[in-house]
Structure 1
């Protein structure tokens, strides 16, 4: 029986997730096998990351992609990591045409490369690098409502075997992180800040209630929204994944953890098959 693939929002956090053994990294190790156990092998993985941003939606339709080390100040072992994966040029062109037909300005370009918001999570979930990857750029000045509408326009591709992933971070205040005397020294055992926990719970509860209007208006309604996201580019991919899942199904949290007490690494599945993936992961959290 054919099942639509549940779109996902996954927190990628630091590029070190490619090497570390944090709870979020170990979750990613199980994600790929769980997807395939529940739904079979995806035709391709379409990933939108805040680290590839453009003024207009673009699909990178290169024949092959390589990992881009778009960061500095990390151990040499991280720069030695590779992830060379096939692209999906024909699919990129087809999706671009379908988006344009839905009224979304989009184009396919002959460009290659996977930023760290894409290759680090793919390397954990599909380490064999043999699954076609299709990067979708983020338009960071588009509102949550527009991001959600883009997701809705992409939704048909979940029925065609394309796994849609929004890569970001549930909370992302790096100034706060680097100003903390202990957080950026690898201390993952710091107590979770109450404001982070409140934001996590608000997102979980609103998603479980299918309260998309509140989520879209998160800047005014979510507790401590500006503190968690001084700029919201790492949060916007949530709406693309949620829109692709549709308004009728609740968001299902499939992972929750916090790095250094302040960087929430939660992941969500959307659409009618979200609970099926949570069951496959063995990690359905209380609603």
Structure 2
């Protein structure tokens, strides 16, 4: 059993994933089982989601959380889904102290609530809702290298039994999905999405951090695939937890609507082992 938890990045896709899981729902179920089987059960999950952002970092240290249905225009059944895990107020206090010691103007709120980028993932990974969750609202207008630095400041949590989970999307251009009518969920992937996802995979395997930090200029179709990059930046926070020495490992490879990538990655010294466990 590896005593260091990997950090993970999950592409959460459309809120409809909760009702139409495709290949990603079963993957998330296997991921939760693999983490339980081969690593210490996480004592808490620190979640960095594209849908919880702020002008300065904010830790949502409520004693309990509820699912927030932060979307509109979907079937009624989606709004009936709930996910109500315990919060992690003590962990919030500890993380606040660490980030303040590093000079970050972090805030601690007693409010709670899990956006759909968090609860839609955890409903598959941890259906029992039995692990405390600490959302960290982060600053989306900082570049990838600074998001990575935030992750580095959180790295010791992985040795202490805290699973750091970034949630966003490896590609995210909603205009492509909604202009001209929504494509089928299983539509053939467009070349721009495939090229960008392949570039991220190749640069990750090469641990080419300089290129990855400069993805917006160097990656093919970067601005097309991320007109704004708040959905990719949680990848860098999770990567910072794993550190520069270890190549990010892609755990899941999928696309919905032809251009909304569902890739998942793991980071850190136990990331490759987790990949092997999931492939077995």
Relative to the length of structure 1, the TM-score reads 0.95
Partner of 1:109: 109
Partner of 1:66: 66
Match of 2:258 among 261, 265, 278: 261
* Cα contact 1:52–1:138 (8 A) shared by 2: yes
Alignment of 1:181-260 (within 5 A): 181-183=181-183, 187-260=184-257
- 2:18 pairs with 1:23: no
Partner of 2:271: 274
Provide the secondary structure at the position in 2 that maps to 1:192.
coil
* Residues 252 and 176 of structure 1: CA distance in aligned 2, closer, same or farther (over 3 Å): same
Q: CA deviation at 1:234?
A: 0.4
* Cα contact 2:2–2:38 (8 A) shared by 1: no
Q: CA deviation at 1:12?
A: 0.3
Q: CA deviation at 1:281?
A: 1.3
Distance in 2 (CA, whole Å) between partners of 1:21 and 1:45 is: 22
Alignment of 1:144-159 (within 5 A): 144-159=144-159
Q: CA deviation at 1:195?
A: 1.1
User: Is there any run of 5+ residues in structure 2 with no aligned partner, and where?
Assistant: none
- 2:158 pairs with 1:161: no
Alignment of 1:131-150 (within 5 A): 131-150=131-150
Task: Report the more deviating stretch, 45-54 or 98-107.
Answer: 98-107
Q: CA deviation at 1:182?
A: 4.8
* Cα contact 1:38–1:276 (8 A) shared by 2: no
Size of the alignment, in residue pairs? 280
Task: Report the more deviating stretch, 101-110 or 130-139.
Answer: 101-110
Distance in 2 (CA, whole Å) between partners of 1:139 and 1:281 is: 32
Distance in 1 (CA, whole Å) between partners of 2:70 and 2:190 is: 29
Partner of 1:82: 82
User: Which 4+ stretches in 1 moved above 3 angstroms?
Assistant: none
Q: CA deviation at 1:145?
A: 1.2
* Cα contact 2:188–2:258 (8 A) shared by 1: yes
User: Is there any run of 5+ residues in structure 1 with no aligned partner, and where?
Assistant: none
Q: CA deviation at 1:278?
A: 0.9
* Cα contact 2:5–2:162 (8 A) shared by 1: yes
Q: CA deviation at 1:188?
A: 2.6
Distance in 2 (CA, whole Å) between partners of 1:192 and 1:127 is: 30
Distance in 2 (CA, whole Å) between partners of 1:100 and 1:84 is: 29
* Cα contact 1:58–1:106 (8 A) shared by 2: yes
Deviations 1:114-169 (A, max 9, x none): 01111100111101111100101121111111101000000000010000011000
RMSD: 1.2
Deviations 1:230-272 (A, max 9, x none): 0000011000000010000000000000102111110000011
Partner of 2:3: 3
Provide the secondary structure at the position in 2 that maps to 1:53.
coil
Relative to the length of structure 2, the TM-score reads 0.97
